[in-house]
């Protein structure tokens, strides 16, 4: 068993061939060029490259990354514009100067970003990968933070259809085309294997790539994927609406509920290990805490029936007046601070809506930068759901036919925390079924090319959570792609505040780790996949 930090990604993969070191005959970093018509869908506007030595960066919270130091790369910035579109995209390609491992990797974004440029490249390059990503035109030539969502609208207020319609996927393909061309030119050899890694929006980009650009990558690691119907986007502000309509509890009321829910539902899976592995069967009665008094940062707080109603509504999927369920909500046992954060302002508690939720509502759905989600009623919420339905096909990789990716030998590895604070895992399970039924010539199972691992207690993309998350899923994917060793389990670990470690061998869905009934509940050896 190898366990490193909970953020993992320990083993740098060995080089494929030592002979792939840069040869003197290949161009120097500063001489790299691309033809304007490299690809029929875009025009290359400029290529600028410079060697960078001894680069370092800390761990970036919520990314798939880890701290990097002493990195030497050729740093290339490529600007492109798409045919029939007036966009301007910045791509960043990093080519390791001294220890290329023969592989290539595109990294994705998160929230309303399609790629993090330097920050996204650094962890992959430090493991020896030639690597690339694109900001997808969403920073408007690095004049805005793409997470604001203001790029959904042009400066004259009209919708920027090119960016909206292509936000889910175009950047990933562009980075693959540009990055592979520069890799081949610089090293004098094509990468032997190409990978994609991403989480959240980046996870969705991975599912898009497999469905629509099946030749771009041999292996795709798509974690906590934001596979959500367009119509479900307003779910990101559902807890805000519930609180505005009912009551705004102090955050410690939510924390008190979380502890009680875990205490009540932990054992449903047969192991008292502090983790809920079966949230679907956790039906916690939120009124059971009404009247109880607890110590909230030194003050006595009494839980009211309004608090109980808020928690209950947040844990249920909202229904439209027609009775139709909109989507899923966070599962019981999930921390509330993600979608139901509150803060004290002028002596009273107010909701702190999730930033991407505000961005989507304002710019994408209402085309109104002043739209106030703190003012939304249940009726407004229903209206937003109806309007957002227009983006169903824009946001998801319909028709979910993965046969081309499977037939060319591609492998897709995904994992999702059962305590994901932003993207309910049920959506991923839903699309797992959709892929299974839409992938032509399916012979009953898709696990020859797609494996999904659910992680009890784990949060969104290594963010928060209290359960073990995958230690090194990229190595598992590389072994699957290059050695044909399909992951039958995926090692996950969590080091707790008291320095003890919980480990689990996560199982490919629909299997889950089931407790043997005896043995240390912190050890993966006390569980097996069933």
Ligand X SMILES: *[C@@H]1O[C@H](CO)[C@@H](O)[C@H](O)[C@H]1NC(C)=O
Q: Which of 372, 433, 488, 520 binds ligand X (CB under 6 A)?
A: 372
> Measured in whole angstroms, how far is the alpha carbon of residue 503 from the centre of its chain?
22
305 by DSSP, 3-state: which? helix
Element (H, E) at 105: strand 103-107
Give the interface segment with ligand X, choosing from 194-202, 239-247, 304-312, 388-396 (CB under 6 A).
Answer: 388-396
Q: Quick one: tokens of 339?
A: 């979608």
Q: Which of 40, 322, 443, 518 binds ligand X (CB under 6 A)?
A: 443
Query: Shortest approach of ligand X to residue 191 CB, angstroms?
Result: 21
Q: Which of 5, 392, 495, 522 binds ligand X (CB under 6 A)?
A: 392
Query: Shortest approach of ligand X to residue 267 CB, angstroms?
Result: 28
Q: Is 69 in the site for ligand X (CB under 6 A)?
A: yes
Of 231 and 414, CB closest to ligand X:
231
First to last CA, the chain: 21
Q: Which of 135, 218, 229, 505 binds ligand X (CB under 6 A)?
A: 229
Of 47 and 514, CB closest to ligand X:
47
The catalytic position among 148, 460, 472, 475 is: 460
Query: Shortest approach of ligand X to residue 314 CB, angstroms?
Result: 16
Distance in angstroms (rounded) separating the CA atoms of residues 3 and 1: 6
User: How deeply is 440 buried, as exposed, middle or buried, from its count of CB atoms within 10 A (0-12, 13-18, 19+)?
Assistant: exposed
Q: In sequence order, which ranges of 229-377 are alpha helices (DSSP H)? A: 238-245, 251-265, 305-315, 355-359
- Contacting residues for 275 by C-beta, under 8 A, at least 6 apart: 262, 266, 269, 333, 456, 457, 466, 467, 502
Q: Which of residues 132-171 bind ligand X (CB under 6 A)?
A: 141, 154, 156, 158, 161-162, 165-166, 170
Of 135 and 229, CB closest to ligand X:
229
DSSP 226: -
Question: Regarding beta strands 193-199 and 103-107, do their DSSP bridges make them parallel or antiparallel, or are they unpaired?
Answer: parallel
The catalytic position among 420, 425, 505, 526 is: 420
205 by DSSP, 3-state: which? helix
Size of the site for ligand X (CB under 6 A): 38
Of 37 and 281, CB closest to ligand X:
37
Of 459 and 513, CB closest to ligand X:
459
DSSP 29: G
The catalytic position among 200, 231, 277, 331 is: 200
E runs forming strands in 318-446: 341-345, 348-352, 411-417
Binding mask 453-492 for ligand X (x = CB under 6 A): ----------------------------------------
Contact indicator for 241, 378 with CB cutoff of 8 Å: yes
Q: Which of residues 17-56 bind ligand X (CB under 6 A)?
A: 41, 48, 52, 54-56
Q: Quick one: tokens of 229?
A: 């119907």
* Residue 416: strand pairing partners: 454
326-336: burial string, b at 16+ Cβ within 10 Å, e else: bbbbbbbbbbb
Nearest of 398, 376, 414, 397 to residue 235 by alpha carbon: 376
Q: Which of 15, 369, 389, 495 binds ligand X (CB under 6 A)?
A: 389
Annotated active-site residue 200? The verdict is: yes
Nearest of 436, 505, 425 to residue 473 by alpha carbon: 505
Distance in angstroms (rounded) separating the CA atoms of residues 62 and 458: 12
Of 58 and 519, CB closest to ligand X:
58
Annotated active-site residue 23? The verdict is: no
Q: Which of 5, 67, 118, 309 binds ligand X (CB under 6 A)?
A: 118
* Residue 44: strand pairing partners: 80
Residue with the CB atom nearest ligand X in the bound state = 389
Cis peptide leading into 510, omega within 30 of 0? yes
Q: Which of residues 287-346 bind ligand X (CB under 6 A)?
A: 295, 297-298, 337, 341, 343
Of 351 and 513, CB closest to ligand X:
351
Element (H, E) at 78: strand 68-82
Of 281 and 295, CB closest to ligand X:
295
Distance in angstroms (rounded) separating the CA atoms of residues 68 and 57: 5
Contact indicator for 192, 103 with CB cutoff of 8 Å: yes
Element (H, E) at 189: none
Query: Shortest approach of ligand X to residue 48 CB, angstroms?
Result: 6
Of 337 and 378, CB closest to ligand X:
337
Q: Which of 114, 231, 331, 475 binds ligand X (CB under 6 A)?
A: 231
Give the interface segment with ligand X, choosing from 265-273, 385-393, 427-435, 506-514 (CB under 6 A).
Answer: 385-393
Query: Shortest approach of ligand X to residue 215 CB, angstroms?
Result: 15
Cis peptide leading into 75, omega within 30 of 0? no
Of 118 and 192, CB closest to ligand X:
118
Residues catalogued as catalytic: 200, 420, 460
Which residues contact ligand X (rule: CB under 6 A)?
Answer: 41, 48, 52, 54-56, 69, 75, 77, 88, 118, 141, 154, 156, 158, 161-162, 165-166, 170, 229, 231, 295, 297-298, 337, 341, 343, 352, 372, 375, 389-390, 392, 441, 443, 445, 448
């Amino acid at each position: 068993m190898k366990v490193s930090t909970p953020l993992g990604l320990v083993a740098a993969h060995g080089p494929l061939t030592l002979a792939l070191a840069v040869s003197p005959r290949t161009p120097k970093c500063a001489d790299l060029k691309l033809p304007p018509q490299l690809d029929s869908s875009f025009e290359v506007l400029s290529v600028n490259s410079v060697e960078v030595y001894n680069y370092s960066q800390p761990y970036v919270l919520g990314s798939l990354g880890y701290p990097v130091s002493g990195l030497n790369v050729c740093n290339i910035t490529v600007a492109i514009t798409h045919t029939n579109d007036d966009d301007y995209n910045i791509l960043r390609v990093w080519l390791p100067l001294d220890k290329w491992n023969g592989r290539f990797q595109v990294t994705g974004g998160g929230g309303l970003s399609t790629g993090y440029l330097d920050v996204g490249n650094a962890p992959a390059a430090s493991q020896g990968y030639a690597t690339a990503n694109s900001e997808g035109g969403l920073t408007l030539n690095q004049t805005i933070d793409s997470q604001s969502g203001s790029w959904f609208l042009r400066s004259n207020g009209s919708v920027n259809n090119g960016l909206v319609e292509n936000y889910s996927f175009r950047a990933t393909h562009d980075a693959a085309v540009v990055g592979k061309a520069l890799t081949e030119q610089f090293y004098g050899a094509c990468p032997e294997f190409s990978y994609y890694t991403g989480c959240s929006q980046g996870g969705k980009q991975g599912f898009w790539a497999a469905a629509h650009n099946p030749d771009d990558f041999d292996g795709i690691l798509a974690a906590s994927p934001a596979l959500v119907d367009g119509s479900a986007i307003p779910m990101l502000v559902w807890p805000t609406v519930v609180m505005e309509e009912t009551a705004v509890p102090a955050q410690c009321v939510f924390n008190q509920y979380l502890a009680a829910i875990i205490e009540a539902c932990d054992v449903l899976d047969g192991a008292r290990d502090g983790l809920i592995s079966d949230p679907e069967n956790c039906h916690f009665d939120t009124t059971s805490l009404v009247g109880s008094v607890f110590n909230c940062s030194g003050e006595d707080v009494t839980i009211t029936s309004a608090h109980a109603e808020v928690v209950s509504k947040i844990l249920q999927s909202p229904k439209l007046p027609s009775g139709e369920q909109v989507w899923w909500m966070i599962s019981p046992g999930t921390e509330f601070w993600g979608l139901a954060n509150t803060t004290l302002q002028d002596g009273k508690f107010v909701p702190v809506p999730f930033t991407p939720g505000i961005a989507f509502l304002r710019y994408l759905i209402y085309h109104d930068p002043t739209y106030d989600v703190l003012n939304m009623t249940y009726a407004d919420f229903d209206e937003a759901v109806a309007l957002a339905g227009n983006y169903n096909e824009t946001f998801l990789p319909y028709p979910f036919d993965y046969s081309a990716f499977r037939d060319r030998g591609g492998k897709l590895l995904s994992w999702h925390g059962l305590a994901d604070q932003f993207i309910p895992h049920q959506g991923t399970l839903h699309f797992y079924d959709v892929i299974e039924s839409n992938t032509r010539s399916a012979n009953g199972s898709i696990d020859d090319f797609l494996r999904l691992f659910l992680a009890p207690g784990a949060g969104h993309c290594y963010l928060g959570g209290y359960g073990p998350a995958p230690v090194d899923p990229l190595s598992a994917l590389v072994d699957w792609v290059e050695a044909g060793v399909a992951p039958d389990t995926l090692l996950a670990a969590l080091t707790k505040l008291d320095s003890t470690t919980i480990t689990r061998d996560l199982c490919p869905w629909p299997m889950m780790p089931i407790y043997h009934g005896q043995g240390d509940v912190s050890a993966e050896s006390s569980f097996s996949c069933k």
